Amino acid sequence: MIDRKLLAEQPEVVGEMLRRRGSSLADVLAQSGLRDLDFAQLSRQRSEAITRRDALRHRQNTAGPEIARLRRDGGDASALVAEMGGVAEQVKVLEDRLAQIELTYSRVLPYLPNLVDPAVPSGGAAANQELRREGDPPRFDFEPKAHWDLGAQLGILDFERAAKLSGARFAVYWDAGARLERALLQFMLDLHTGRAAGPPRPAGHVYREVIPPYLVTAETLSGTGQLPKFEADLFKTRAGDRDLYLIPTAEVPLTNLHRDEILEAATLPRRYVAATPCFRSEAGSYGKDVRGLIRQHQFHKVELVKFAAPESSMLELDGMLADAEEVLKRLRLPYRVVLLASGDMGFASAKTYDLEVFLPGQQAYREISSCSNCSDFQARRAGIRYRPEPKAKPRLLHTLNGSGLAVGRTLVAIVENYQRADGSVTIPDALRPYMGGDSEIRSRS
């Protein structure tokens, strides 16, 4: 949530931010159920009411001693007392008006996205900036296949039976497919917690492992910005008299671990990692990626979350990006790093880097991780603060999150990049210890 003072005192700044994101205050008002509201006028009314109220309060403060003096000296204070009665009524009217204005702001604020970092380019997806590429896409002496064909031929992915069980956008993993998914989860967790084989991770790149709940409350989702704006993207359950939501990402429970808490500066940055299932209705994505594992209702993801002091959060974002890249480097998968433009970023993000892995079956780079600095946006919503030094006034900290990585998409990248002409798939060296030493995946038939 952005600072309400910004909306109240500088609505033009908020309007410019929305313009950069391809939206407007009118769009936000429609989402919040308010229409035909002039924020510039409301801001003036608020300022005038505050000025008038404060002047009347000052008059009350100065009249008090004057009334006391008159009474002490035997004078007649009745006129002044009557005047103060009228002043008190005016103050009450102004305070009621200000309360209504604040209520209006409170209805709009949950629908306003985060402010955009100045380094972020303006525009939609076409304005995204490719920063660099790592690794060369493989060259095949045969026509490479997409993972949905390879997976079916190898007998490791089954979309038809999944549809029988649950409908579209689900998958059944068989045999080596299930083992590969499990191997990727364990490999990523070991890497991010500093326990993987190979070059050790520096201390600043080691995360604390967490298993959070997979069902959360509406308050928890509000803390990270999924509610109220994105309720259509969530799966909601009801047990007895309780409403709970399946998590769309581990970012939600991990960030809310410190909701309404004050952390000490000496404990920052805090770095957490969790491997969880994620559940998304994919509302608004019908017709996109209908085949395969790219856009599923249920998938696994290893999520990275950080809590950092504002002055170091951008450095922590760079570190998080490097941590996600390290997974791709150890798996020897070709990828590129993209800085997202303002109109292509997520609702809570101030700055986002995407990692896109090359998929030979589509001859394209596809997103496999987004690493975002949410600045103080989520911290303000969730009441997460830190104390810069002992006994100092608490301040809002910054939260960051990123995929380290999306497991199903990583499996897709391995199957497609490591495929052979005979339809088998080579297992990357880094994963072989997690696959019982196996070096390849072949059809069982």
Give the pLDDT score at 40: 83
pLDDT in tens, 347-393: 999 999 999 999 999 999 999 999 999 999 999 999 999 999 999 99
Asked whether the beta carbons of 262 and 197 are under 8 A apart, the reply is no
* Phi, psi dihedral angles at 381 (to 5 degrees): -65, -40
Domains of the chain, earliest start first: 4-111 (1.10.287.40), 125-441 (3.30.930.10)
333, amino acid identity: L
Residues of the chain with pLDDT > 90, as a percent, come to 87
pLDDT at 269 over 80: yes
CA 350, distance to chain mean position in Å, is 10
Residue of 160, 109, 108, 132 whose CA lies nearest to 2: 109
* Phi, psi dihedral angles at 263 (to 5 degrees): -95, 150
Name the H helices within 112-266.
147-154, 159-166, 175-192, 218-224, 251-256
Asked whether the beta carbons of 406 and 301 are under 8 A apart, the reply is yes
pLDDT at 423 over 70: yes
What span, in angstroms and rounded, lies between the C-alpha atoms of 383 and 212? Answer: 19
pLDDT at 404 over 90: yes
Residues in Cβ contact with 183 at an 8 Å cutoff, skipping those fewer than 6 apart: 431, 434, 435
Give the pLDDT score at 445: 67
What span, in angstroms and rounded, lies between the C-alpha atoms of 364 and 33? Answer: 40
Q: Which residue has the tokens 């952005």?
A: 2
Q: Which residue has the tokens 């960030």?
A: 255
Q: Which two tokens stand for residue 324?
A: 């996600």
Asked whether the beta carbons of 372 and 274 are under 8 A apart, the reply is no
pLDDT at 290 over 90: no
pLDDT at 87 over 80: yes
Residue 79 neighbours by CB distance under 10 Å? 9
pLDDT in tens, 189-229: 999 999 998 889 999 999 999 999 999 999 999 999 999 99
- Categorize the per-residue pLDDT at 286 as very low, low, confident or very high, splitting at 50, 70 and 90: low
Give the pLDDT score at 345: 97
Asked whether the beta carbons of 215 and 245 are under 8 A apart, the reply is yes
Residues in Cβ contact with 436 at an 8 Å cutoff, skipping those fewer than 6 apart: 179
Catalytic machinery residues: 280, 295, 367, 370, 409
Q: What pTM did the predictor assign?
A: 0.92
Residues in Cβ contact with 22 at an 8 Å cutoff, skipping those fewer than 6 apart: 124, 342, 343
Residues in Cβ contact with 295 at an 8 Å cutoff, skipping those fewer than 6 apart: 169, 282, 285, 288, 289
Give the pLDDT score at 354: 98
* β-bridge pairing 395-396 and 398-406: unpaired
pLDDT at 9 over 90: no
Where is average pLDDT lowest: 35-39, 237-241, 358-362? Answer: 35-39
Burial of 112 per CB tally in 10 Å (0-12, 13-18, 19+): buried
Give the pLDDT score at 34: 86
Q: What's the mean pLDDT in 271-286?
A: 90
**What are residue 235's DSSP bridge partners?**
246
The 8-class DSSP code of residue 419 comes to B
Q: Which two tokens stand for residue 27?
A: 């769009």
What span, in angstroms and rounded, lies between the C-alpha atoms of 3 and 427? Answer: 49
**What are residue 236's DSSP bridge partners?**
245
pLDDT at 100 over 80: yes
- Categorize the per-residue pLDDT at 330 as very low, low, confident or very high, splitting at 50, 70 and 90: very high
